[in-house]
Structure formats: C-alpha cells, structure tokens
Structure 1
C-alpha cells in the first residue's frame, strides 16, 4: 500500500494517478472527504487525517509499504511558520511509532540552508526532523512550481502588467510543473527506497529555466493581449503582499524567500542532489490556467 499525503493537490494527485496506472494500491490521505471523489474514482482508498493529531496520522499510515509525505504551509494561520513546524513535529512523531519501509518527503530548492530563506527554512526543519526516523528516506526537492503564476494572472491579463519579485527581470531561475514532481515522486517510490544510510536527495526542475520577462511573453502569446513584466520595488514588497490578502508573518516569509532567491541561494545544492528534469513546459502549464480563467469570466457575464 502506497500512502500519499496531500493527495488532492497537484503533486499528490499526479503521484496517486501514476501509482494507480502502475497497478498499485494507493491510500489517498485527505483532510476533507468532499475533495476525494476524483481520487476514489481512480480506485484510491480514502483516509481522512488531521495533520495536527499524531494518532490520526498514524492510522493513515498503518500497513504502508511506502509513504509520500507532504507538509502544507498553513497560509491562513496567524503564525504559519509555527503552525507548519507543529504539523511536522506531529507527523514525525507518528512516523517514529511505525517507521514505514520507505519514506519520500517533498521538499524545496534551498532546503539545505538553516536560515535566511523564508518559507524554505521550514523545509530545512522538515528535512532535519525526518532524518531522525528509521525509514530509508528520499528527499525530493523541487524548484518553484509553474502553477504559482496563477495567483497573478488576473492582474496580468486585466492590467497588462505581470508583477514580479524576481530581480532582475531577465534573470533565469528554475521552475517545474507540479505534475512532473508528482510523476517523479511516484517513480522513485516504485524504484524502492535508498539502500544507503544517508538520505537520498533528488532535485527536479524543468529542462529550461525562465525569467519574469519570459513568463510575460508567454502570457501575451497565449492570451493575445499585451503583457509586460514589471519589477515590484523592494520597498513595496511587504505592502503589496499584505494588500493581496496575506497575513503579516506570511508576507514576511515571502519577502525573505525572494531576497534569498535574488541572492542566488534558492537553487540546486551543489554535489549533493541527483538532478532530474521535467518535460512539461511553462506554456503547457499556463495554457489550461488561462482557459479556465476565460471560462470563469464568460460564466460571470
């Protein structure tokens, strides 16, 4: 039985689907049964779990031959960093009670840094805590997900301006499609866990790196509307993020992350990671996002 946490998200759903296509039994762990219909339809067993309850998590992993662990960032929480560390501690406590034969954790580029990288420092904490579990461990670090650009599509198409915290606008940075991360995670699970005592670290990004200018050009091409990239001045980052609805502490985590990004600290860890490359392009990710957005606009008229 392959147990997939975060199975309703882009990555988890892709992993569950790939494992089912391979004929494997999959238990999809969800927080809300109402979101599980699509997973049940492909033959997944559904397990409800409260990630803040170690006993609930332990029940979800009971009998697992392998566990894919995704720890969400609790965006709406007043203190998302503390809330995420609590989820990590809870999950690790459950995994220690019955260490699975194989454990794969989804992490981020830059997770080797203990401080100064905003949200990514939470994935450093995740990796550190998971190393205390007896299971053979694979750490799958991914680049920035292409799907994250969905957050600014309404502004980009409505105003013709793509706001960016990347500096400079022509700087190439790694990204990856979430479905490619999920597919690789499933393949690593099927291949079996690492045989050596130290964790196996695998990185994934798309074959080609992109820039904010390149994202704007792709949006303009797909939408048929003029779109230009515009760098948000550093002094305005916090106010812009707060204005978009983010809480005070979450906004600061984003500011710290992009400071680290622009300093070149969010990248593949040299001489450590096994490097893999996704095949999905930025255009292939943005096109359906724009189609869904256009459909929503049409329905609202």
Structure 2
C-alpha cells in the first residue's frame, strides 16, 4: 500500500494513477471527502487529512510501504511562511509515528539552498523537517513547471506578447512537465534503496523565453514575442494578482535569473531527463486557457 498526498493536484494525481495502473494498492489522501468517489472508482482507498493535521496524516500513512508528500502550493504566503512551517512539522511527525517503509517527497530545484529561495523556501522547510527521518527518503527536485505557461496564454492571445519575468530572454532554462514528475515519483515509490537520494528532474530540452513565446504562438495560432516585464513593475503586478507579501515571489525569480536557484554540480545527485517536450504541454494548455 502506498499513501499519496495531494492527489487532486497534477503531480500527486499523476503519481497515484500511475501506481494504480501498475497494479499497486493506493491510499489517496485528500482534504475533501467529497472528492474521494473518483479515487474509489479507480480502486484506491481514501483517507481524509489536511497537511497540518498530524493525527489524520498518521492514520493515512499507517501500515504503508511508502508515502508521497509535498508542500501545499502557496504563491501568496503570509510573512515568515507560517503555514508551510506547520505543514512540514505535521507531515514529519506523522511519518515518524507511522513509520512507512520509505518516503518520496516533492521538493524543487534549489531546495538545498538555505537562503535566497523566495517561494521555494516552503519546500526547503519540508526538506529540513524530514531530514531526521531514518527510513529511506528520496527527494525529488524538479525544475520550473512547463504548466506555469498557462498564465501566459491569455495575454499572448490578446496582445501577441508573452510577459517574461525570467531573464535574459535568450537564456535557456530547464523546464519539466508535471506528468513526467508524477511518473518519476511513482517509479521511485516502487524502488528499493537505503539512506537518502536526491533526484533532479528536467525535460528533454532547455528553452529560452524567446523559444517559449514562439511555441505558444504555434499552439494558439498567432505570432507571439517575449516581452520583459520591467523590474520596477513586479511588485505592483504581484500585488494586483493578490499577493499581500510579494517579496518571496520576487526573490525566487531574481534567484532563477542570477543562477542562485539551479541544480547542484553534475555528479552530486541523480539527474533524470524526462521525455515530454514543451510543445506537448502547450497544446493541452491552449485548450483550457
């Protein structure tokens, strides 16, 4: 039995479905019991728990061969990341009590850094909280999600421009499809190892913002160019999008641009190059944006 959290999200959902398809027993961990019917139809057992409820998580993780955990995505956190801190402590406590056979956790590129991470600080907190665990632990550190381009499609359709915060426009950045992360998480769950593993994940090609704009244009059927968003406009834009504390998002982007957030040197960790190209993801995003 594998317990998979965040099954209503892209990565958790893909992980759970891949394990079920391979014939493994899965316990789908959800916050909302009403969403459990879909998973029961797929043959999964359902457990209800929030990321900050150590008791409910302990019950969900009890008796399992392995668990998949992650930080709750939060692009507008409160100062000091109190929610991420609570969630990390609760998940670590639950794992310590339940003693599953292994743990696979979703972190991020740069998750090893102790400062300058911005929003990625939230997954670093989970890495730190799980550090004392003694069972086998695999930390997945995928790069920038291709699906983040969903928010670029509407302005591209309207104006022919893709606003870009990543810079310079001609710098290639590693990108990854969430479906590939889920597939790798599921595969890792079924593997046997001892101690700790760190698995870095990127897609088959690194893309510049210029290339991404061109690919978005191909997906939506009109020419699109990348346009840098001036640094002086970031805070106002992020506040307009609902971020009362925009500094973490600003810090994260600046750290990507400076190279502070990056994979560790070659050979330090496992490094997986996944197969899904950006074109495949954009074709699907264009249907829903």
TM range (shorter): over 0.9
* Deviation (angstroms), 1:257: 0.3
CA distance in 2, matches of 1:189, 1:151: 31
> Would you say the 8 A contact 1:174–1:267 is kept in 2?
no
Deviations 1:21-70 (A, max 9, x none): 11100011111133334323321111110221110111111111100111
* Deviation (angstroms), 1:222: 1.5
Which residue of structure 2 lines up, in the alignment, with residue 280 of structure 1?
276
Which residue of structure 2 lines up, in the alignment, with residue 135 of structure 1?
135
Which residue of structure 1 lines up, in the alignment, with residue 252 of structure 2?
257
Please point out which of 200, 218, 222 is paired with 2:219: 222
Which residue of structure 1 lines up, in the alignment, with residue 89 of structure 2?
89
Which residue of structure 2 lines up, in the alignment, with residue 34 of structure 1?
34
Q: TM-score of the superposition, structure 1-length normalised?
A: 0.92
CA distance in 2, matches of 1:241, 1:161: 18
CA distance in 2, matches of 1:157, 1:29: 37
Deviations 1:90-147 (A, max 9, x none): 1111111122110110010001110011112222221121111122111011011111
CA distance in 1, matches of 2:186, 2:154: 33
* Deviation (angstroms), 1:165: 0.7
> Would you say the 8 A contact 2:28–2:45 is kept in 1?
yes
CA distance in 2, matches of 1:152, 1:34: 32
CA distance in 2, matches of 1:235, 1:37: 47
> Would you say the 8 A contact 1:73–1:84 is kept in 2?
no
* Deviation (angstroms), 1:207: 1.1
RMSD of aligned residue pairs (Cα, Å)? 1.5
CA distance in 1, matches of 2:253, 2:209: 13
Confirm or deny that 1:190 pairs with 2:190: yes
CA distance in 2, matches of 1:242, 1:77: 12
> Would you say the 8 A contact 1:74–1:83 is kept in 2?
no
Going from structure 1 to structure 2, the CA distance change for 1:159 and 1:36 (only over 3 Å counts) comes to: farther
> Would you say the 8 A contact 1:162–1:229 is kept in 2?
yes
Q: The residue matched to 2:135 in structure 1 has which SS?
A: coil
> Would you say the 8 A contact 2:119–2:249 is kept in 1?
yes
Q: How does 1:119-158 map to 2 (within 5 A)?
A: 119-158=119-158
Going from structure 1 to structure 2, the CA distance change for 1:80 and 1:22 (only over 3 Å counts) comes to: farther
Where in structure 2 are there 5+ consecutive unaligned residues? none
> Would you say the 8 A contact 2:200–2:263 is kept in 1?
yes
CA distance in 2, matches of 1:159, 1:40: 44
Deviations 1:214-242 (A, max 9, x none): 11100111111121111111111111111
The size of the alignment, in residue pairs, is 288
Q: How does 1:17-166 map to 2 (within 5 A)?
A: 17-75=17-75, 77-79=77-79, 81-166=81-166
CA distance in 2, matches of 1:18, 1:80: 35
